[in-house]
A = this chain, B = another copy of it.
Amino acid sequence: MRDMLGRESAVSVPEARERMTRHVIAGEPPSVLTTLDKAYQRILSEDVFSPEDLPGFSRSTVDGFAVTSSDTFGATEGLPAYLNVSHEILMGEEPSFRLLKGTASKIATGGMLPQGADAVVMLEHAQYADGGLIEVLKPVAPRENVISAGEDMKKGEVLLRKGHQLRSQDIAALAGVGIEEVKVYEKPKVSIILTGDEIVPLGRAVRPGQVRDMNSFTLAGLIRKNGGIPVKKGICKDVYEEIRNVVRESLDDSDMVLITGGSSVGTKDMTAEIIEGLGSPGVLFHGVTLKPGKPTIGAVVDGTPVFGLPGHPAAVAVCFEVFILPVLRMLTGREEKEYQGQKRIRVRLARNISSSVGREEHVRIALEERDNELWAVPVLGKSGLIRTLVKADGTIVIPAPVRGLEEGEMVDVVLF
């Protein structure tokens, strides 16, 4: 839609998002070597192959007796197989002997099978008899109660794929095959520029008419939580040249640029104008059918995403969720599956919520337990109030075509 002057009016959320992802150039991020103790949640920048077999030898998975399985075939409690216990295998040692037919070796969980042995009889299925013999009461199949050499990982096998985000068990597996360092993607840097003559940094006294910066804290936390590095660029006065210089510098030294505030009429247009002058394609949308967050600016400058965010605290949080997060994820290099996104729960709505058709609404809600069931209670209040975010446990999204939601309806809550 365009207004009478030919300017485009607000675009839909999906359209705005699509324009961003189409123009952002998310090249492969640079790699960096990291040790395992710093690798948690980092994203692999190359496939990792196992340099060796894991385990390197056949191991017992139980406490018992290493045997030749064929020696136990047909054994029962009534007619046990008798085996001569020739050796005891020490943990961490390579058995220096070969197991002969008709003999067994005492072995503990994790012990190395001697040559000639191909299975382990559990302690519970054997009993000692006279003359250094054991009675085996139950047969074992070949490889029963054994982890064979290379059964966990084979040398040369792909252990983990490029783009995978490392979890605790992945790091354990890397350690298990002796890998001490991995190549991961560098985290994307996201510049946060605050604008507004009324904004005062933390630690400075506020005079009447001034307010303290809150948005840089919300944004920095969310950026860090989602795998980026926030770079605070301070607070700009509402002066064209000043803002322009900081935006230009930020385009040079970061992977995404966020400009928040600029709440005065003049500044709103100023932000868009500054972005337009710095590269192409420039502003992709200016105004979106989203509540809160309508005046958001989305832009790409020579491949780098730039957002102009409204100053209201709740609008900043919603814009992060809706626009910034999908772009940030592109920049991290993570191969993400759909279910890996936000934590959601499905609960019952505690009261009617009306919504305008044609506008996607994000409603902050608090979870309340009533009769052993969780209910989503809308947190009322202007989007300029940080308390609406502090009192809330998550948000529900009312899509643009929906007129509203009814009390008692089941809703999906995206948890903070």
Contacts and interface: CB of A to CB of B under 8 A. Distances in A.
Given A57-B209, A175-B202, 15 more contacts: A56-B206, A57-B208, A90-B197, A91-B196, A112-B208, A152-B386, A168-B218, A170-B390, A172-B215, A175-B212, A176-B212, A177-B212, A178-B212, A338-B374, A343-B343
Interface string A214-230: 11011111101100000
Contacts of A374: 338-339
A313 B386 contact: no
A218 to B, nearest CB: 4
Contact of A206 (B59, B178, B207, B238): B178
Given A169-B313, A217-B168, A197 B382 contact: no
Contacts of A209: 57, 91-95, 111-112
A317 B168 CA distance: 9
A311 interface: yes
A166 B178 CA distance: 37
Given A91-B238, A94-B207, A112-B209, A202 B217 contact: no
25 contacts: A37-B220, A54-B386, A59-B384, A92-B197, A92-B198, A92-B209, A93-B197, A109-B311, A110-B263, A110-B311, A112-B209, A152-B387, A160-B390, A168-B218, A171-B217, A172-B214, A173-B389, A173-B390, A175-B202, A175-B212, A176-B386, A178-B202, A178-B206, A337-B393, A339-B415
B196 A92 contact: yes
A294 to B, nearest CB: 11
A212 to B, nearest CB: 5
Interface string A140-176: 0000000100011100000110000001111111111
A353 interface: no
Nearest to A160: B390
A21 interface: no
Contacts of A393: 337, 339
A94 B90 CA distance: 82
A382 B147 CA distance: 8
A332 B347 CA distance: 28
A56 B208 CA distance: 7
Interface string A108-122: 111110000000000
A178 to B, nearest CB: 6
Interface of A: 36-37, 40, 54-57, 59, 61, 63, 90-95, 108-112, 123, 147, 151-153, 159-160, 167-178, 180, 196-199, 202-203, 206-215, 217-222, 224-225, 238, 263-266, 311-313, 317, 337-340, 343, 345, 367, 374, 382, 384-387, 389-390, 393, 415-416
